[in-house]
Structure 1
Amino acid sequence: MQGSFKIQLINMGTRAAAFTAKIRSLYDCQLRLMHNIQPLPSGTDIANTVKYFSQTLLSVLKDVPRSPLEMIRDADNDAERMGLYPNLDYKGLFNAISQLVDSAPHLQYGIQAFGQAVLQCLGCLLPFLEYDMIDNLPYLVAYCVAVFPASLHQEILNLLCYYILPFTITRRYSGMEEESEASQSVGAIIMMVFQHSNNPAHHCQLLECLMSMKQWVVKDLLCVIAYGTCGARVSAAKLLFYYWPPFDAKLFDRKGLLCKFANTCKINCDSRNSEL
């Protein structure tokens, strides 16, 4: 019995050491990309390393007796939830992935494989994050729309709407009447997606997801109209007038809305028009 326990400790130490070493390799890749240090890593090379973390995290989850995703909904369970896992550097992994996302525009090739691996890893990492990183995760995933190719935008929206947002913006904090930071970042998330995705279906998907989970999402939409870029403002205004006043996604036909988006035309304003 003592021998098997000793072997388990050795295996845990070996896994933790390998985990930390792989994180250092991610930081090294990010450093070389940002400072153009040769040889530059490819997106495929980084993706293979990131896949290691996804596989490791999934193997850890198999041994967890309770559902950590359900525990995420209540911040009071954070200490118990984190106690279910082995002592690995989850925070270091999150920070490394965040910096790599910022470095994505510097990749010369392999961005598709890199993006897919990062999105999968962020999804696997959610149950292992502490409260501050949980609050930052939704915006990080939304930011991927700005740096990943358009072919990955649907995957990003699916990750956001079906997995990340339901377990983050609805988190409960005891003794806290204000919204969580994740919920407060909804306006920035809408602005990011509306600005960098040209597909109106993505805009509708995100807004309908938010309407099902957050009250007064209209305030976030008004914030985008007031402070967003031109493209984000136009999309937000169209959706505001379409969903107002009930703001209930179940009452509307998305297909009809997309037709309205497709049939819009731009109006050019100049000094002569302003005089009329």
Structure 2
Amino acid sequence: MGTRSAAFSAKIRSLRELQTKISQTGLQSVNQTGPNQPGMDLSNSYRWFSTTLLSILRDVPKLPYQMIRNRDKDEERLSLFPNLDYKDLYDTLYDFIPDMQYVTNPDKCGKNLLILFASLLPFMDRTTIEDFPYNMTELIDVLPLELCEDAVDVLCDNLLPFILVSGDTEGRGNDYVPAMLQTVMYKAPQDTVIHRKLVECIMTYKVDVHIDLLHVIAYGPTSAKIPAVNLIFFYWPTLNPTPADRKDIVDRFQTSSSWAPPFCTNTNCEANEPVQARKMCLDHSIPLNQRSDFPPPALYCLDCADKVEQKRPKSESPIFEDLNVPISFIDTKCENKNCRSTEKMGVVTCLSSECTLYNSHRPIRYCEQCHRIRHNERRGTSNHVFQRNVPVPWEMESEDRKTCLSRTSLQVHVHVTDNV
């Protein structure tokens, strides 16, 4: 173990030296020939580290991706891994982010860096895990525009489902959501596909996302405000005062394509053509025994997930979670087919799989009565993640109330822009 640890640390030192060389040479030449520093060695180094980490992870027992969501299991989770300098590697990568601009092949190098960050997640301590959203925000800011979609895919598929934990009042990962949204919208203001994928991912794991969007609207640059305004009116349709306004915003989004669900990543999938993934696999060993070049979790179609489940003892805990499909429309009325309320106006949108199951894996709207019936301690569903209607300002906390003052100009933004 000592030899392995020493070799790993030596590789980190070599990586740090390579990054320092690129940074220094880039700073010297930035006023001469521009940022044109070689990046092939750097890209290969990132790839070596991600391959090494995934080979270590493949042989780890238990389910570290389930354990990440519970801070009480951090000590047990970290004890599963060999004693290597994972945090030093992470710090080395993070320190170089501002100087990524000096790399000549930022596309390939950036992709390998994104994969490496995703591979590092299960090896990190709690503080570092909670800093991931902010650090990824900084990385997105310096990556080429062409990699913005790749970065959002890594966030939505590999990182945020394990960092944004509903009900975790001690965590600070949620605090970085407005900055993350603002950076993506500012980086690619016209790309509604990645805007919607990111927002819907966050809505699945975090409550009160309207507050995060209001922060972007209140404090962000104009190019980020405009997409945020359209998104908040789309996902919270009761903000639109008339049916004509609601139709206007829906029509705007329907003229552009929504994000596409990922395809099944099972290399042994028997489908004749690519099939949409409907399940997320939390057992890291299953996909890593098939391919060791991309980090978990694996995303499986229904048939592949069923075949894996059939081979597992029924006494073992489930390893698959349902994935929601993209949102094409948010209704203003209750969507519960058994609703008996006389007041059908929707007050919450539930994104938890136990409820979306009744709506073809799409988020479902509930009226006040159905919301109280579906979400309570007796049914064990009070921990569901749902998005409430935006309250009136005087019912908000003081800081959120200040942010909500920006709503007075929302309609103006919506009617003067076509950027959706």
Contact residue 106 and residue 144 of structure 2 kept, 8 A: yes
Separation in structure 1 between the aligned mates of residue 73 and residue 251 of structure 2, nearest angstrom: 41
Give the unaligned 5+ runs of structure 1.
1-11, 268-276
Contact residue 73 and residue 167 of structure 1 kept, 8 A: yes
Structure 1 residue ranges, 4+ long, deviating more than 3 angstroms after superposition:
37-41, 252-256, 263-267
Separation in structure 1 between the aligned mates of residue 7 and residue 105 of structure 2, nearest angstrom: 25
1:259 paired with 2:255, answer yes
Find 1:87's aligned residue among 75, 83, 108: 83
Contact residue 217 and residue 229 of structure 2 kept, 8 A: yes
Find 1:60's aligned residue among 45, 56, 61: 56
Q: Could you tell me the TM-score, scaled by structure 1's length?
A: 0.81
Give the unaligned 5+ runs of structure 2.
30-35, 240-246, 258-413
Separation in structure 2 between the aligned mates of residue 136 and residue 206 of structure 1, nearest angstrom: 18
Contact residue 75 and residue 171 of structure 1 kept, 8 A: no
Contact residue 148 and residue 187 of structure 2 kept, 8 A: no
Counterpart position of 2:152: 157
1:141-156 equivalent positions in 2, closer than 5 A: 141-156=136-151
Separation in structure 1 between the aligned mates of residue 59 and residue 230 of structure 2, nearest angstrom: 47
Separation in structure 2 between the aligned mates of residue 19 and residue 264 of structure 1, nearest angstrom: 56
> Could you say if the C-alpha distance between residues 242 and 266 of structure 1 is closer, same or farther in structure 2, counting changes exceeding 3 Å?
closer
1:240 paired with 2:240, answer no
1:183-202 equivalent positions in 2, closer than 5 A: 183-198=174-189, 199-202=191-194
For residue 25 of structure 1, what is the amino acid of its counterpart? S
CA deviation profile, 1:98-145 (whole Å, cap 9, x unmatched): 1222211122x1211111110111111000000111011122223332
Percent of counterpart pairs with the same letter?
35
Separation in structure 2 between the aligned mates of residue 144 and residue 169 of structure 1, nearest angstrom: 19
Counterpart position of 1:214: 206
Separation in structure 2 between the aligned mates of residue 254 and residue 90 of structure 1, nearest angstrom: 46
> Could you say if the C-alpha distance between residues 226 and 128 of structure 1 is closer, same or farther in structure 2, counting changes exceeding 3 Å?
same
Q: Could you tell me the TM-score, scaled by structure 2's length?
A: 0.54
Counterpart position of 1:223: 215
Separation in structure 2 between the aligned mates of residue 172 and residue 233 of structure 1, nearest angstrom: 28
Separation in structure 2 between the aligned mates of residue 14 and residue 41 of structure 1, nearest angstrom: 33
1:5-154 equivalent positions in 2, closer than 5 A: 12-36=1-25, 42-107=38-103, 109-154=104-149
Separation in structure 1 between the aligned mates of residue 132 and residue 251 of structure 2, nearest angstrom: 30
CA deviation profile, 1:217-252 (whole Å, cap 9, x unmatched): 1011101111111111111111111111479xxxx9
> Could you say if the C-alpha distance between residues 264 and 147 of structure 1 is closer, same or farther in structure 2, counting changes exceeding 3 Å?
farther
Counterpart position of 2:172: 181
> Could you say if the C-alpha distance between residues 242 and 19 of structure 1 is closer, same or farther in structure 2, counting changes exceeding 3 Å?
same
Counterpart position of 2:195: 203
CA-CA distance at 1:62 after TM superposition: 1.7
SS of the aligned residue for 2:205 comes to coil
Larger Rg: 2
Separation in structure 1 between the aligned mates of residue 232 and residue 61 of structure 2, nearest angstrom: 44
> Could you say if the C-alpha distance between residues 62 and 97 of structure 1 is closer, same or farther in structure 2, counting changes exceeding 3 Å?
same
Separation in structure 2 between the aligned mates of residue 209 and residue 257 of structure 1, nearest angstrom: 18
Separation in structure 2 between the aligned mates of residue 184 and residue 29 of structure 1, nearest angstrom: 33
Contact residue 50 and residue 121 of structure 1 kept, 8 A: yes
> Could you say if the C-alpha distance between residues 227 and 86 of structure 1 is closer, same or farther in structure 2, counting changes exceeding 3 Å?
same
Higher helix share: 1
1:166 paired with 2:157, answer no
